[in-house]
Amino acid sequence: MTTFARARGEIALLALLLLADAMFYFVVIPVGIADPDDFGLDQGLPPSFSARVAAILMAVIMAIRLVHLLVTPAVAQAGDEASNSQESENAIRNIGGIAGALAFAFGLVPVLGYYLGGVCMVATLVAVMGERRWSYLLWQPAAVMGFIWLLFDQVFSIELPVGLLFGS
């Protein structure tokens, strides 16, 4: 398979995801999250704020990738055994990443809480992506969870789940 064919498939997927993100922003959020009519910034952030920020960030990231795919010329690849092996390895990594995310959502967060479960998940995903240096497997998850704690707990005053192990 050529790089151009892969890029064309990714462009189609990104267009579909951007459409789904727009539906989320313009339909799901207004219908699902009711903001009070007289709600002002002096009372804090409206309930739909974090959902809107997430939708906007997803759209920006996807748009950047879409522009990159459209601007960067595609180069043909030889369909040799090495590229098939790489595709197989990528498929296994994708399955591992999805399994790690599901374990995080349904197993780690309810028991360990968001922060400790998040450290475990990020460390697992970084390892699945091929990182083997222990220093990276320790500081990267800590930095990501530290940023999430700073953003949600300190800036937005949103308490994330603490889990059964640490809950009162």
Q: pLDDT digit string (tens) for 89-140?
A: 777 777 777 777 777 778 888 888 888 888 888 888 888 777 888 988 899 9
Q: Give a yes or no: residue 167 inside a domain.
A: no
Of 115 and 37, the structure prediction assigns the larger pLDDT to 115
- Domain match, 59 and 107 both: no
Q: Output the CA angle 24-25-31, nearest 5 degrees.
A: 75
- Which of 78, 104, 120 terminates a domain? The answer is 78
Core vs surface per residue 16-30: b (16+ CB within 10 A) or e = eeeeebeebbeeebe
| Mean pLDDT computed over 11-18 | 86
Q: Taking Cα atoms as reference points, which of 29, 49, 52, 33 lies closest to residue 41?
A: 49
- Domain match, 3 and 74 both: yes
- Which of 16, 50, 78 terminates a domain? The answer is 78
- Domain match, 102 and 40 both: no
Would you say residue 80 has pLDDT above 60? no
- Domain match, 54 and 103 both: no
Mean pLDDT, the chain, integer: 80
Range of the domain at 56: 1-78
Q: Give a yes or no: residue 150 inside a domain.
A: yes
- Domain match, 97 and 66 both: no
N-term to C-term CA, the chain: 55
Q: Give a yes or no: residue 56 inside a domain.
A: yes
Measured distance CA(48)–CA(50) in Å, rounded: 6
Measured distance CA(117)–CA(68) in Å, rounded: 33
- Domain match, 114 and 73 both: no
Would you say residue 163 has pLDDT above 80? yes
Of 149 and 94, the structure prediction assigns the larger pLDDT to 149
* Residue 93 token pair: 């990594």
Do 76 and 2 touch, CB atoms closer than 8 A? yes
Measured distance CA(108)–CA(163) in Å, rounded: 8
- Domain match, 142 and 100 both: yes
- Domain match, 66 and 7 both: yes
- Domain match, 64 and 7 both: yes
Q: What is the DSSP letter of 42?
A: G
Q: Chain centroid to CA 88: how far? A: 23
* Residue 157 token pair: 């005053």
